[in-house]
């Protein structure tokens, strides 16, 4: 296991006092490794979990050629351009009840969606394109279909022995349906990630406590709780820890003993009254950064024992943005996910965006579809790092890269959508 200094030495242009966002990502990719423990769970308990091994299809899907339509199955070689076709219907194939008779040239079989294609037949004419006549014949007009139409071939979705889902895949609803379609009732997944978190500071009140002069209510624990729950982590709430060395030491030791990762908010800057930074240094191997970003700037990352530590800034929006930009991808990697970064949308900003080159900025935005069908984005108001109301009104973060300057109205920008990240 590499030390924090060894990881830092591998990162090009590493500078803890002015760290670029891309360097933070590179650092955390080395720091965060998947948990080793796995478990077998039923499919209904597997939603949101991450596969710990490939799922190899034990069968072909579909297991046989079948009809994609209600209609009439026949040998498509009988179709000729410009000519109608009349076929005598000799039977019916139902889903789950195959037709086992012989179908000769000039004959067809009435077939339902999903029914096995009778031997020698490769084409289905939908019932709305065929005319059933009283003498038992079916007439097909010229040039309404081609040979092979409306047939699902055996294994066209998956062939037996093919990897259906790879290790590291998230078991979303569609993936659960895919696993079930293979006849598998259980899956091997990484165990849930255990994440302990707490807020620090003598000025922090928990909701429900009476207000007092100079104190503020703790919002960070609740946003972090929601963010971690959306990830599917097992969350361990250690409450508010006052800025006292003995209390901070006890909280960090408990978190390290119970969790795979520790999240704190507040106390990682260079303020004289903050003991959190000193206690992290005393108990673990931790780097303290000043990231070239806005909102946010101070952040800590490292280890206490075997647990990874992420120290977030105390300002509410800065804490949430730092989590979304850096901690979420690292936790996903610990959960075993292969793809950890949400895709960025491209949208046209409808107003000028102020931005200084030399830092990455994450501005709160609202993405909407314009009448012409293009995606547009506007900011949601005051962008101060303590303004949680503008974060609550946003549906994404406008991501302005390190080297980018001001963006005039009409500029196409990247947006990290919350629906893909929160």
pLDDT for res 273 = 54
Return the percentage of the chain with pLDDT > 90, whole number.
Answer: 87
Question: Does the pLDDT at position 367 exceed 90?
Answer: yes
pLDDT in tens, 29-42: 999 999 999 999 99
pLDDT for res 202 = 86
Q: Confidence class of residue 382 from pLDDT cuts 50, 70 and 90?
A: confident
Question: Does the pLDDT at position 369 exceed 50?
Answer: yes
pLDDT for res 271 = 60
For residue 389, the surrounding DSSP H or E stretch is: helix 388-392
pLDDT in tens, 243-266: 899 999 999 999 999 999 999 998
pLDDT in tens, 47-96: 999 999 999 999 999 999 999 999 999 999 999 999 999 999 999 999 99
pLDDT for res 422 = 58
pLDDT for res 421 = 62
Mean local confidence (pLDDT), 102-119: 96
pLDDT for res 245 = 92
pLDDT for res 248 = 94
Return the percentage of the chain with pLDDT > 70, whole number.
Answer: 98
What CA–CA distance (Å, rounded) separates 301 from 31?
Answer: 9
Question: Does the pLDDT at position 152 exceed 90?
Answer: yes
Mean local confidence (pLDDT), 210-230: 92
Whole-number average pLDDT of the chain: 94
pLDDT for res 276 = 87
**CA 127 to chain CA centroid, nearest Å:** 41
Long-range contacts of 350-353 (CB under 8 A, 24+ apart): 350/376, 350/377, 350/378, 350/409, 351/378, 351/379, 351/409, 352/406, 352/407, 352/408, 352/409, 353/379, 353/398, 353/400, 353/406, 353/407, 353/411, 353/413
What CA–CA distance (Å, rounded) separates 325 from 300?
Answer: 14
pLDDT for res 272 = 45
Asked if 171 and 235 touch (Cβ cutoff 8 Å), the reply is: no
Reduced to 3 states (helix: H, G, I; strand: E, B; else coil), residue 100 is coil
């Amino acid at each position: 296991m590499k030390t924090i200094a060894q990881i830092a030495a591998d990162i090009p242009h590493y500078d803890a006092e002015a760290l670029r966002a891309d360097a933070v990502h590179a650092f955390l990719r080395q720091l965060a490794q998947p948990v080793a423990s796995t478990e077998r769970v039923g499919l209904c308990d597997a939603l949101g979990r991450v596969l710990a091994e490939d799922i190899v299809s034990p069968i072909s899907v579909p297991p046989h050629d079948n009809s994609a339509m209600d209609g009439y199955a026949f040998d498509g070689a009988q179709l000729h351009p410009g000519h109608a076709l009349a076929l005598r219907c000799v039977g019916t194939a139902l889903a789950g009840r195959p037709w086992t008779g012989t179908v000769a040239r000039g004959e067809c079989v009435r077939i339902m969606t999903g029914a096995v294609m009778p031997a020698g037949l490769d084409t289905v004419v939908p019932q709305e394109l065929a005319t059933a006549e009283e003498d038992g014949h079916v007439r097909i007009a010229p040039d309404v279909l081609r040979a092979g139409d409306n047939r699902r071939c055996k294994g066209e979705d998956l062939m037996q022995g093919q990897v259906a889902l790879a290790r590291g895949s998230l078991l979303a609803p569609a993936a659960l349906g895919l696993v079930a379609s293979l006849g598998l009732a259980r899956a091997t997944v990484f165990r849930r990630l255990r994440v302990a978190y707490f807020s620090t500071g003598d000025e922090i009140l928990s909701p429900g406590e009476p207000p007092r002069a100079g104190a503020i209510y703790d919002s960070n624990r609740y946003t972090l709780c929601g963010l971690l729950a959306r990830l599917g982590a097992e969350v361990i709430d250690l409450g508010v820890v006052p800025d006292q060395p003995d209390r901070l030491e006890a909280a960090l030791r408990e978190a390290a003993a119970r969790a795979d990762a520790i999240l704190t908010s507040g106390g990682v800057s260079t303020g004289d009254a903050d003991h959190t930074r000193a206690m992290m240094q005393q108990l673990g191997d931790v780097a303290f950064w000043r990231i070239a970003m806005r909102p946010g700037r101070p952040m800590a990352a490292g280890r206490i024992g075997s647990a990874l530590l992420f120290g977030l800034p105390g300002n509410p929006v800065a804490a949430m943005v730092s989590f979304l930009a850096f901690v979420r991808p690292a936790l996903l990697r610990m959960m075993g996910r292969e793809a950890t970064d949400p895709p960025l949308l491209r949208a046209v900003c409808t107003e000028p965006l102020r931005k200084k080159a030399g830092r990455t900025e994450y501005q709160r935005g609202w993405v909407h579809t314009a009448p012409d069908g293009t995606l547009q984005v506007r900011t949601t108001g005051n962008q101060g790092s303590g303004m949680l109301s503008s974060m609550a009104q946003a549906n994404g973060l406008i991501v302005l890269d390190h080297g980018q300057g001001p963006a005039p109205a009409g500029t196409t920008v990247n947006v990290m959508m919350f629906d893909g990240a929160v």
